[in-house]
Structures are given as structure tokens and as C-alpha cells.
Amino acid sequence: MNHALTLKIGPATFRIGSAWRQPVDALARLYADYPMPAGAIADFTVRLEPAGPFRRWFRPSIFITGDHGLADAAPMSLAHGLLAAEMGMNLQMALGWRRHLLLHASSVEKDGRALVMTGESGSGKSTLAAQLGERGWRLMGDEFALLDLETGAIFPFPRLVSLKNRAIGVLAAEAPAERMGPLLAGTAKGDIRHLIPRREAIGRMAEGAPPALLLFPRFGHEADVRPVGQGEVFMRLTQASTNYVALGEAGFAALSDFVRNVPARAIDFPSGDEAIALVERLWEELA
Amino acid sequence: MPARYCQDSPDAIASCVLEDMVLLYHRPSGQTHMAIAPVPEILATLDDGAALTAGELLGQLAQLYDLGEPEEALPLVEAHLAELAALGLVRIA
């Protein structure tokens, strides 16, 4: 690879190689506060390669690959190279990480305990975590929460927060401009802009916290709070985990302990401000 | 001769009781099953290497639970045993 960067996010070290300079430069700028242990042994390799022999120069088009690849992944335009690198890192984690039970969830920490939020794409879990991260909570991650198999603690994976469409304006109003990445317009998921987590969240990215509350947020509905039975919580978390089956009995033991010990609620909310008030109230009552 | 059923192996299943169900992790297959009554009770009765017919199993369960008339309960126990055998959680001894 002509251009490369080694980057540590939470416990995982990535080596990102690219045929083009732009995506690596964009990553180096946005991940400037993260450890970049040059020469370190990487857990994962991400490669951004031309989609065809001439596509490095002619209508440059990126194919994401690495230790783990998806055969039918669609090539992306070079203008979205930063997104391609981010997707590449997520893909390696989702398919290859085995040291924790990996939950597709956002998480934030306060007073030494973690709040975990999981839901479908568009549920608001990522935006909510990013907003809480600007309002006194420590952002642990907007995409993956890492459940420790031995201790049951949640460990951070605080990559850049991927803000989509309406969430961009919401966070641009709260976070300083120097922590916002470039606007990537017209991607397959609409407009995307990355948010760099606060420096404290990055500095403490090796620090886990015991989980104290699990929420299933749902944006765009009248405010409501519902209890969720442990059986349903277990089923939804196995669906939200990319490596539950691969981890075998260790994953079963960690997840069943989590489900028995962490109170869970489904929350609906019509706006971010109402969601934050609801989260703060539930945290006081249940955590 | 009616079939005798036993657990897959003495240490095959790790279970975890939740509020509304019991989780069963089957070690040989790596599969997780979510079970409600009477499945956990049937498996518990087959604990410690027991190999029982459906009728014997029903007799033991009836000492602990109100299962109604035996002629109605027996086909249900047989159906559960056939289902558990298909999943690999019990086998014919």
C-alpha cells in the first residue's frame, strides 16, 4: 500500500493502507488525539484498493478489504474515502474481534458506571450517546460496546462518531467546529459527518466500567418507557452481537450475567432534548 | 418396550434462569435454547444420568407439579421428549 497509518481505538490496533493519500490524511487529521503506534503489531489490516486496474486514477473507486472482507461490498467513490476507511475498521471488528462480546450498541459512562443503548440503525442510539458525551457523560462508543468476558465490564471503542443526516445539525450546534469532520454528502446512508469524541473520552479509552442500565431507544415516537423482559433482552442482545455464536460458552455466560444483572427499559422519544431528560431520570431511578 | 430417554451427556447443558424463561446452552452444539415450563423441569428430572420412559418421567414430575389427568399429560410429555431429542438435548438411552 502506498499510504498507511497505524491507529489504536480502544483495545484494537488497526493498520490502514490505501492506494490514495486522501483517506489516510483525513484519518490522520481526525484521529490526531489517538495513539498511533507506528510499527506496532496490528490486530487488523484494512486496505482501500482501486476497484479495478484503472480505477486508481480514472473515476477513482475504492474497494474495502483486509483480514476479513465481504465479497459483494459495493465500491465507493474516493470522495467518500474517509467513510470507506471507517467502514473497513467496523467490518474488521464485527467479523474478527474475539476478546470481548461485541454488542452493536452505543455506551456512555458516568460516576464509574456504564449506560448501554442498543437498537436498529436510525433508533437514535448513536446521536443520543454523542449528545450525552457533550453533556457531562464520557462517550465510550457510538457503534460497538465491548463486554468483558471475565469481569462483565463494558469497555470503550470510541471511534469517530458517525453522524447521519439530521443528527449532523444537532451535534454541530453542541460541539465545537474543530471536532467536526468534513461533510460527506450523498453516501449510501445519506449525508455523513464525523464527530471527534472529547479528548477525555479518547484519553480514557482503555478504562472500562460495570454496566448499570440498558436502554432500547426509539426516536420519532411519543415519549414512553416500557419494561423489557429478560428473555426478550437476551434475544435482542444476541441479535445485536456479531460474535455471540463464535465465542461459545464464554459468550453465553457473559451475556446471561449481563441480562440478569442490568435493568433494561425501552424508551420512545420525539426529540433529543426529551430523550436526554428521560435518560437522566431513568439513570437516577434505576442505575 | 417404550423408549427410555436420558440427557445428551451429564455435562452437556449449562442453564441460566431468567425472570420469564430458562436459557439452555448446549455445549456439544454451541447452540443456545430459550425454554419455558415444562422443558427445564423435564431436563432436571433426567439429571444425574437418569434414563426414564415418558411414563416414568410423568410419574416423577407429577409428584412435584399438578399436571392434570395422566392420559392427557402423557402425550404432551412424549411430544416434548421427541422435540428435545430432535434438538439433541436428550437422546434415547
Please write the tens of the pLDDT for every residue from A159-218.
999 999 999 999 999 999 999 999 999 888 899 999 999 999 999 999 999 999 999 999
pLDDT by residue (tens digit) across A254-282?
Answer: 999 999 999 999 999 998 889 999 999 99
State the Cα–Cα distance between residues B58 and B71, nearest whole angstrom. Answer: 10
Q: Which of A229, A252, A260 sits opposite B32 (nearest CB)?
A: A252
Complex-level ipTM = 0.88
Adjacent-strand bridge partners of A224: A268
* Chain B residues close to A262, C-beta within 8 Å: none
Residue A158 pLDDT greater than 70, yes or no: yes
SS3 label, residue A204: coil
Q: How far is B21 from chain A (nearest CA, A)?
A: 6
* Chain A residues close to B19, C-beta within 8 Å: 229-231
Lookup result for grid cell 459495493:
A74
pLDDT by residue (tens digit) across A113-154?
Answer: 999 999 988 889 999 999 999 999 999 999 999 999 999 999
For position A1, what pLDDT does the model report?
A: 64
For position A79, what pLDDT does the model report?
A: 81
Burial state string for A32-51 with b = 16 or more CB within 10 A and e = fewer than 16: eebeeeeeeebbbbbbbbbb
Residue A72 pLDDT greater than 70, yes or no: no
- Per-residue pLDDT, averaged over A90-101, amounts to 94
B37 inside 8 A of chain A by CB: no
* Contact between B16 and A252 using a beta-carbon 8 Å cutoff: yes
Q: Which of A229, A238, A245 sits opposite B20 (nearest CB)?
A: A229
Residue of B nearest to A258 (CA): B18
pLDDT by residue (tens digit) across A276-286?
Answer: 999 999 999 99
Residue A253 pLDDT greater than 70, yes or no: yes
CB atoms within 10 A of CB A90: 19
For position A63, what pLDDT does the model report?
A: 77
For position A69, what pLDDT does the model report?
A: 72
For chain B, list residues with pLDDT below 50: none
State the Cα–Cα distance between residues A118 and A128, nearest whole angstrom. Answer: 11
Ramachandran assignment for A59, one of left (phi > 0), alpha (psi -120 to 50 degrees), beta (any other): left
A111/A80: higher pLDDT: A111
The percentage of chain A sitting over the pLDDT mark of 90, rounded to a whole number, equals 79
Q: How far is A259 from chain B (nearest CA, A)?
A: 8
**Mutation for testing the B interface, residue in A228, A247, A256 having most B CBs under 10 Å:** A256
What confidence category does residue A71 fall into, taking pLDDT thresholds of 50, 70 and 90? Answer: low
Give, as one character, the DSSP assignment of residue A69.
-
Q: How many Cα atoms are found within 13 Å in the side-chain-facing hemisphere of A96?
A: 19
Kindly state the helix (H) or strand (E) to which residue B13 belongs, with its residue range.
strand B13-17
* Contact between B34 and A234 using a beta-carbon 8 Å cutoff: yes
Q: How far is B36 from chain A (nearest CA, A)?
A: 10
Pairing of strands B13-17, A211-219: unpaired
Domain boundaries, chain B: 5-92
Q: What is the mean pLDDT of chain A?
A: 93
Residue of A nearest to B13 (CA): A249
C-alpha separations of A124 from A135, A136, A147, B20, B91 in Å: 16, 19, 21, 28, 47
